[in-house]
Each structure stands twice: as C-alpha cells, then as structure tokens.
C-alpha cells in the first residue's frame, strides 16, 4: 500500500469540494498521403491494444476505512482501454472542435480507475483529425505529460508501428526522438515540496531570507508582488462547471524577431503578448484595473542535462509572481517590465531553491484560491490573477504512425480563484497559445485569438521588429 505524497493527497481532497485537477493536450494531425479511407479507424483499433501499460497509468487513488482515511495508490491488473480510449466524430465544421474540447475538459476523471482519458476525434476539415489526452495532475505535471506524448511520436513519417502514449517504456533505451535531443524520459508524479528540502533548518532559512528579499524587491525594485498585491478581476471568482477552450499557433520567427530586437527571452515575448491580450480584453469591457495584473509563473530548475537520478521528480520548478504591466500603455515598456521581473525571478529561484520559492509564495496562492470559497470576501485584492506557463515541445516536425502532427496545444487546469489559465507550447518552428477559462467567465474566449495576433503585431512595431 503506497500512500500518496502530501501534495497529491491535498489535491485529491480539495477536488472533492472544488474543481477537477487534470491537465490535457490536443494534437491536430493530418493523415499520410497513402492513407486509406479506414486510416483513422485503424489508428483507433491499434490504440485500444497494448501489452504493457505505463505503471503510472495503471494506478488510481483510494481512501476508506481500510486505509484509515489515508489516500493511497491502488493498481489495476488490466486496463480496460474501451473505458479510457474513446472516439468522437465532428461534422464538416472545424469550429465544433473547441466547444467539444471544452466539454471533455470539464468532465471529472473517474477516481475508481486509472485517472486518464484519451479521445480520437475525426471529422475535421481536409480529412484531418485530433487527439485529445487528459491526465490527472497527481499522475504527471505539464512537462512530464508533454514528454509522455512526445515519446509516442517519431520524426520519421515512415514509422507506422509506434506504441501508444500509455505504453510502458521503462525498459527502452534512452535515445533521441529527433534532432534537438528530445530524450525519452518518463517523469514520475508530482512530489511533495517538503521532500525537496535537504533539512527543515535549511528550508526555514531559505524561506525567511526569501520573504525578506521579496519585501525588498517589491518595495524597492518593483519586480515582484506581495500577497494580496494583485487587483481583483473576474478571473478570481468562484468557477462554474463549464469550460471554454481555444488555441492557435504563431511562427517562432516572429517571436524571435521581437526577442532579438528587445534583447529579452522568447518566454518574455510570449508573456508580454498575453499581457497585451488581457489588457485589451478587459479594457473593451470596461474592467481594466488601474493596477497591473499579476501572473503566477513557474520557473523550471530541471537542467537540460539533468541527472537521471533526479528524473523521478516531476515537480522540479519554482514560482514567481510577475507583474504584467497591464497598467502601461506602451507594449515595449510592458515587455521590459516582464523581462526584468522574470530575470530577477530566475536568479531568486536559482539561489534559494524551488521549495523555498513555493513556500514563500504560499500566501499569494492562498489569497487567490481560498478567498473565492469564503461567503463574504471583499473583492479588493488577490494574490495573483492567472498562471502563465511555457512548455517546451518537440523541436522538429513529428509523426504519429505516419500522420503529421500539425499543431500541439496545451489544455491546462482552472479552478476557483484561478478561472483563466494560459499556457504556450513550442513545437517545431511555431508556438501554440492555449487559453482555458470558465465558460461563464469568458464566454467569448475565441476573441482571444485575433487579439493575440493584434498584440504580437503591436509588439513587433513597438520594438522595431517590423517597420511601418
């Protein structure tokens, strides 16, 4: 009987009274030129057959009298693929895809069996189809989930016998899946932040010095914010049961041109574009706060050449509260503010460690997710307004049993107090922007796609990456 880690157990308990805690991804694919009329049917049939399943995807959480009220992992002997791999068909209108993804993403995973689902969706325009996967956050984090998907892909379009994403690859050699060195690495579930501390004394020291430095940075450097340092918005209310999802991709060359012109990082550019989108969307509705919105931004501490012994940890990141500069008219000024803040955040997390950064920001997290659950909470301040994450995907064009992967989009988690989530994913020569929100919070979520294009164009002109 294997107990859940404290953080995992807390998420399972919170989900009983709150919102689903799973992460997802959507792949848009086009069949190979030689595909027959039954190609997708054959893919689906192959996907429901697998001799050995990844151990993480065979287990499920359980709590009862037999465990003394403690959350533990149980494991099934055989996975019923008919329960976990489903088929959907759309009409000829691709516009139906995103409402369907919103519906599927809103559904809770059944905790009486392994907590993952996959959907093969055909009927898209041009003969294309989609693959949507969701896995509970106690099983994998976003980075580990994308690596799991990448391991089921190939850079060779002639490979037609790739095992499905849920296959057990623990015995396979670690070899690149394509140029750029994307390595076959399976990352275990999220571990407790306490487990990362080398000692309680060291953790306390990091947290105390971190809190003091956070105060100094906030009052003097204006590069981060304290708990209740973000303005309250509609994104920080209680979340309903429905979800709204949309996504689109833009070429890396446009992001890189802004990056080079402004001497910032690609993630800084993407965050600044998102900041511009939020500023415009809220302003159009007369809801733009005079104070800057704040994003909760994960900062990875997993090196590209990390020790394989550390790969058992799936939650190797710190956290930083980044002001988005939505109170600034100049998009170039917003970009520089974000760049300065995130540069300081990387130094801060590197110096003090991911655990200290997570604990130091516990006040901001609590102020965001607990306040909406209270009956008479003043809607004045919150800890942060939304999370913004950037996930690295495969660096080259990939294929799934001959089908070309055209786009990869993240479909992230939202919950009470955090009813908007924006995640980007790099893939080959483009970057996908994925927006997830409560349907009642952002019913017109598709409007964010043209706003993203407009704000990227605005930023290009502002830094001189594009000339009038």
Does a structural domain hold residue 95?
Answer: yes
| Residue 216 sits in the same domain as residue 348 | yes
Total count of domains within the chain:
2
Non-local (6+) Cβ contacts of 180 within 8 A are 394, 395, 396
Burial 418-431 (b: 16+ CB within 10 A, else e): bbbbbbbbbbbebb
Specify whether 224 is located in the same domain as 308. Answer: yes
Residue 446: alpha-carbon gap to chain centroid: 19
Cα separation, 135 vs 142, whole angstroms = 9
Clarify whether residues 297 and 423 are in a common domain.
yes
Residue 279 falls within a domain, yes or no?
yes
- Residues known to be catalytic: 137
In whole angstroms, give the CA distance from residue 445 to residue 364. Answer: 26
The domain boundary residue, chosen from 91, 122, 151: 151
Q: Are residues 423 and 298 in the same domain?
A: yes
Q: Exposed, middle or buried: residue 250 (CB in 10 Å: 0-12, 13-18, 19+)?
A: middle
Torsion, Cα 347 423 84 312, to 10 degrees, reads -10
Question: What is the Cα–Cα distance from 200 to 204, expressed in whole angstroms?
Answer: 6
Q: What pTM value is reported for the model?
A: 0.83
What is the C-alpha separation between 377 and 370, in angstroms, rounded? 10
Q: Is 144 helix (H, G, I), strand (E, B) or coil?
A: helix
Q: Are residues 304 and 429 in the same domain?
A: yes
Cβ atoms 242, 438 nearer than 8 A: yes
CA distances, 327 to each of 197, 214, 330 (Å): 38, 22, 9
Q: How confident is the prediction for the chain on average, in pLDDT?
A: 81
How far is 392 from 265, CA to CA, in rounded Å? 14
Number of C-alpha atoms within 13 angstroms, CB side, residue 222?
Answer: 7
Structural contact between residues 463 and 257, judged by C-beta atoms closer than 8 angstroms:
no
Q: Determine the structural domain holding residue 14 and report its residue range.
A: 2-151
What are the structure tokens assigned to 173, written together? 């050699």
* Residue 408 maps to a domain: no
* Pair 116, 252 in one domain: no
* Co-location of 245 and 337 in the same domain: yes
* 167 found inside a domain: no
Contact 57, 81 (CB under 8 A): no
From 151, 181, 209, give the residue that closes a domain.
151
Q: What is the pLDDT of residues 397-447, one digit of tens each?
A: 999 999 999 999 999 989 888 899 999 999 999 999 999 999 999 999 999
Alpha carbon distance 261, 466 (integer Å): 10
Whether 179 maps to a domain, the answer reads: no
CATH of the domain at 98: 3.30.559.10
In a domain, 160, yes or no: no
pLDDT of residue 11: 76
| pLDDT digit string, tens, across residues 334-383 | 999 999 999 988 888 777 666 656 666 666 666 666 666 666 556 667 88
In a domain, 250, yes or no: yes
Q: 122, 151, 180 — which closes off a domain?
A: 151
Q: What is the pLDDT along the chain (468 residues), one digit of tens a residue?
A: 688 877 677 778 777 767 888 889 999 999 999 999 899 999 898 888 877 888 889 988 889 888 888 988 899 988 988 899 999 999 755 568 999 999 999 999 998 899 999 999 999 988 899 999 999 888 876 667 777 888 889 999 999 888 888 888 776 544 333 333 322 222 232 233 333 333 333 434 444 444 455 545 544 444 566 666 899 999 998 889 999 999 999 999 999 999 999 999 999 999 999 999 999 999 999 999 999 999 999 887 654 444 443 443 334 567 889 999 999 999 999 999 999 999 988 888 777 666 656 666 666 666 666 666 666 556 667 888 999 999 888 999 999 999 999 999 999 989 888 899 999 999 999 999 999 999 999 999 999 999 999 999 999 999 999 865
Q: Show the tokens assigned to 415.
A: 């919950």
Contact 318, 357 (CB under 8 A): yes
The answer to whether the beta carbons of residues 187 and 143 sit under 8 Å apart is yes
């Amino acid at each position: 009987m294997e107990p859940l880690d404290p953080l995992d157990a807390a998420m399972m308990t919170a989900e009983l009274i709150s919102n689903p805690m799973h992460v997802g991804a959507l792949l848009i694919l086009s069949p190979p030129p030689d595909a027959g009329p039954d190609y997708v049917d054959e893919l689906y049939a192959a996907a429901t057959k697998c001799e050995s399943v990844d151990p993480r995807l065979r287990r499920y959480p359980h709590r009862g009298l037999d465990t003394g009220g403690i959350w533990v992992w149980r494991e099934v002997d055989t996975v019923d693929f008919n329960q976990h791999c489903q088929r959907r068909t759309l009409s000829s209108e691709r516009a139906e895809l995103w409402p369907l993804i919103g519906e599927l993403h809103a559904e809770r995973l059944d905790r009486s069996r392994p907590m993952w689902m996959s959907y093969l969706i055909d009927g898209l325009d041009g003969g294309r189809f989609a693959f949507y996967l969701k896995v509970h956050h106690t099983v994998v984090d976003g980075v580990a989930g994308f690596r799991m998907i990448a391991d089921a892909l190939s850079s060779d379009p002639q490979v037609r016998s790739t095992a499905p994403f849920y296959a057990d690859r623990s015995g396979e050699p670690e070899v690149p899946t394509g140029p750029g060195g994307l390595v076959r690495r399976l990352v275990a579930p999220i571990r407790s932040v306490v487990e990362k501390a080398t000692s309680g004394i060291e953790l306390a020291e990091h947290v105390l010095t971190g809190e003091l430095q956070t105060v100094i940075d906030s009052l003097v450097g204006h590069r981060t914010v304290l708990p209740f340092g973000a303005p309250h918005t509609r994104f920080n209310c209680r979340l309903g049961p429905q979800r709204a999802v949309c996504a689109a991709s833009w070429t890396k060359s446009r992001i890189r041109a802004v990056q080079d012109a402004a001497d910032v990082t690609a993630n800084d550019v993407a965050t600044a574009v998102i900041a511009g989108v939020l500023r415009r969307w809220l302003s159009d509705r007369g809801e733009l706060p005079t104070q800057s919105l704040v994003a909760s931004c994960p900062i990875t501490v997993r090196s590209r050449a990390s020790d394989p012994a550390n790969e058992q940890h799936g939650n190797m990141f710190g956290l930083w509260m980044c002001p988005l500069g939505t109170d600034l008219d100049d998009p170039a000024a917003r970009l520089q503010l974000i760049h300065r803040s995130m540069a300081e955040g990387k130094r801060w997390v590197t110096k003090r460690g991911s655990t200290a950064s997570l604990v130091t920001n516990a006040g901001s997290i609590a102020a965001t997710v607990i306040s909406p659950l209270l009956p008479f909470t003043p809607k004045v301040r919150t800890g942060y307004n939304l999370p913004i994450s950037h996930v690295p995907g495969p660096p080259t064009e990939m294929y799934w049993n001959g089908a070309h992967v055209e786009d990869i989009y993240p479909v992230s988690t939202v919950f009470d107090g955090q009813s908007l989530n924006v995640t980007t994913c790099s893939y080959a020569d483009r970057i996908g922007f994925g927006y997830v929100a409560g349907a009642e919070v952002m019913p017109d979520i598709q409007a964010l796609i043209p706003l993203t294009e407009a704000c990227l164009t605005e930023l290009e002109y502002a830094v001189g990456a594009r000339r009038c």
